[in-house]
């Protein structure tokens, strides 16, 4: 079973977002388990404590999280203790190994050991070595990783909040990590008692599971943390059980009370936030672009980014447009569908064709909005099944309008159009959201296609500059490439 399904199954079955850290820390060992006369007695005491904790909580938590470092510190007896602990956890409860692993050279062998030999469901990783470090863990489709974003220890702030609190390094970690794996395979580990930090991460990654840490420090407000960290479905946030509570002989009773409190607050928050978030404009321009609000929204949610980005062609551009995020924001997605539809209403066609994979959600939205049948050319042909090049029903000789997201070189959209033509369909028009300009429309025209764009990169940059979203230096750099 996939980790994501196993986790959601445990959450639903136990009605709990709580997880327990199974940490054999001798310094935290409750008095009733302490036997200091012989080293092996300490191991026995730790095992008795861990076993009791598991037996009292299997119907109250959604996951267990053993910390690898505590077991390793105990030497060979510690490794043996880890195996006993793993075997004691019921099969339907997912296990997240808290390893904070950070060594690129040992990532492949550790992934094999943890996922194949130990049959653990997920692991925590440090992001500093980048995607190459994470990749060996993601080749296991049924497993998952949690990327460490931020911690609560005060001395870490100088690094994690660099260069500014408004644009901290930990948010850059979130932005990059989202490109490494799917929401089902890659979550985020966040240690904080500050709701604003949790809220920033949730805003940047609305679809990711967040493994919260250190929330019970003095001054933490549970409802504020839940409001900041829960997703729009009222879940997506895993909460730790306090280490102090794990020393209690009445653990089950206390945990039931905590679970009830959290579920009550989740209900309150869901009722308070029962509608989709709404974006409001914060600028007013005299000669504003008709799609001003849409441009600003796309920039504000990170669909329009500026920096040094390598494109699929190998060229480096000072910007990047990522429309894949719009599917998580119905308000903006609807506006984009309407913008496309304004162009399509003046065109003649029988079917809409989306180009995999980026424009398929938009093509689907247009198909529903315009009540027009949709097809799409496959990016690759399967070696099994029907082996179709074109998915969907169509008749040779029909006219198809092609929908894509961005025109840069025109290569990918023409390849898709050629597949459609090879199947006996006619393609005259290609409609995209953004035109990179630099003569790409002329290139398409020379190949027999008429290109239409909702926006050009010039319109986007001019609007963002006028609205104060980008600097004069950024504007000049972008203007020079057009």
Give the gyration radius of the chain's Cα atoms: 26
- The length of the chain is 482
Most confidently predicted of 170-174, 321-325, 464-468: 170-174
Question: Is the pTM of the predicted complex or chain greater than 0.85?
Answer: no
| Active-site residue, from 2, 36, 100, 476 | 100
The matching CATH number, chosen from 3.40.50.2020, 3.40.50.2300, 3.40.50.1970, 3.40.50.300, for 291-480 is: 3.40.50.2020
Binding-site residue set: 378-379, 382, 384, 404-412
Q: Which residues contact 436 (CB under 8 A, 6 or more apart)?
A: 406, 407, 408, 457
Binding-site residue set for 5-phospho-alpha-D-ribose 1-diphosphate: 378-379, 382, 384, 404-412
| pLDDT beyond 60 at 370 | yes
For residue 220, what pLDDT band results from cuts at 50, 70 and 90?
low
Write down the pLDDT at residue 385. 44
Write down the pLDDT at residue 285. 62
Tell me if residue 100 is catalytic: yes
Least-confidence region, from 20-24, 92-96, 281-285, 455-459: 281-285
For residue 140, what pLDDT band results from cuts at 50, 70 and 90?
very high
pLDDT tens digits, 64-74: 999 999 999 99
pLDDT tens digits, 14-32: 889 999 999 999 989 888 8
For residue 313, what pLDDT band results from cuts at 50, 70 and 90?
low
Domain range annotation of the chain: 3-273, 291-480
For residue 327, what pLDDT band results from cuts at 50, 70 and 90?
confident
The alpha helices in 230-370, defined as continuous H runs, are: 251-272, 292-300, 330-344, 360-370
* pLDDT, mean of residues 278-284: 55
For residue 166, what is the enclosing H or E element? none
pLDDT tens digits, 372-421: 999 999 876 554 444 578 999 999 999 999 999 888 888 889 999 999 99
Token pair listed for 24: 């054999």
What are the backbone angles phi and psi of residue 228, rounded to the nearest 5°?
-75, -35
For residue 314, what pLDDT band results from cuts at 50, 70 and 90?
low
Token pair listed for 461: 């940059």
Query: What percentage of the chain reaches a pLDDT higher than 90?
Result: 56
Pairing of strands 390-391, 374-377: antiparallel
Write down the pLDDT at residue 409. 83
pLDDT tens digits, 180-219: 988 889 999 999 988 999 999 999 998 899 999 988 866 5
Least-confidence region, from 58-72, 114-128, 427-441: 427-441
Least-confidence region, from 75-79, 362-366, 376-380: 376-380
For residue 1, what pLDDT band results from cuts at 50, 70 and 90?
confident
3-state helix, strand, coil in the chain (%, to 5): 45, 20, 35
pLDDT tens digits, 25-61: 998 988 888 865 455 688 999 999 999 999 999 999 9
Hey, do 3-273 and 291-480 end up sharing a CATH topology, with the first three levels equal? no
What mean pLDDT is reported for the chain? 88
Q: Angle at CA 227, nearest 5°, toward 223 and 231?
A: 140
CATH class of 3-273: alpha beta
């Amino acid at each position: 079973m996939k980790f994501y399904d196993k986790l959601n199954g445990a959450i639903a079955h136990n009605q709990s977002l709580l997880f327990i850290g199974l940490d054999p820390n001798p310094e935290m060992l409750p008095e009733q388990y302490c036997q200091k006369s012989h080293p092996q007695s300490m191991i026995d005491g730790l095992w008795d404590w861990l076993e009791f904790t598991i037996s009292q909580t299997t119907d109250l938590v959604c996951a267990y999280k053993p910390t690898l470092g505590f077991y390793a510190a105990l030497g060979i007896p510690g490794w043996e203790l880890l195996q006993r602990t793993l075997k004691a956890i019921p099969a339907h409860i997912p296990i997240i190994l808290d390893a904070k692993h950070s060594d690129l050279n040992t990532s492949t062998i550790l992934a094999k050991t943890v996922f194949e030999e130990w049959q653990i469901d997920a692991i925590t990783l440090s992001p500093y070595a980048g995607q190459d470090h994470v990749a060996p863990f993601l080749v296991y489709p049924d497993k998952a990783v949690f990327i460490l974003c931020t911690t609560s220890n005060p001395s870490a702030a100088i690094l994690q909040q660099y260069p500014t609190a408004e644009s901290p390094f930990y948010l850059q970690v979130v932005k990059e990590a989202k490109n490494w794996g799917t929401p089902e395979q890659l979550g985020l580990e966040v240690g904080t008692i500050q709701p604003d930090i949790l809220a920033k991460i949730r805003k940047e990654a609305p679809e990711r599971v967040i493994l919260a840490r250190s929330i019970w420090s003095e001054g933490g407000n549970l409802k504020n943390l839940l409001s900041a960290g829960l997703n729009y479905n009222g879940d997506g946030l895993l909460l730790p059980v306090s280490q102090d509570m794990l020393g209690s002989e009445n653990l089950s009773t206390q945990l039931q009370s905590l679970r009830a409190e959290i579920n009550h607050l989740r209900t309150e928050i869901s009722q308070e936030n029962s509608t989709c978030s709404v974006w409001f404009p914060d600028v007013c321009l005299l000669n504003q672009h008709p799609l001003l609000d849409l441009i600003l929204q796309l920039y504000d949610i990170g669909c329009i980014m500026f920096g040094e980005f390598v494109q699929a062609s190998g060229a480096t551009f000072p910007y990047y447009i990522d429309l894949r995020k719009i599917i998580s924001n119905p308000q903006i997605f609807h506006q984009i569908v309407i913008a496309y539809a304004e162009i399509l209403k003046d065109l003649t066609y029988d079917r809409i064709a989306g180009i995999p994979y980026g424009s398929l959600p938009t093509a689907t939205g247009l198909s529903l909005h315009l009540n027009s049948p949709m097809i799409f050319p496959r990016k690759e042909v399967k070696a099994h099944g029907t082996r179709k090049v074109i998915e969907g029903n169509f008749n040779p000789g029909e006219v198809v309008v092609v929908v894509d997201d961005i025109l840069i070189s025109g290569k990918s959209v023409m390849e898709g159009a050629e597949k459609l033509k090879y199947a006996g369909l006619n393609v005259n028009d290609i409609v995209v959201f953004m035109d990179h300009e630099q003569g790409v429309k002329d290139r398409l025209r020379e190949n027999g296609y008429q290109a239409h764009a909702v926006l050009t990169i010039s319109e986007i940059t001019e609007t963002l500059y006028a609205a104060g979203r980008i600097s004069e230096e950024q504007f000049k750099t972008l203007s020079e490439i057009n």
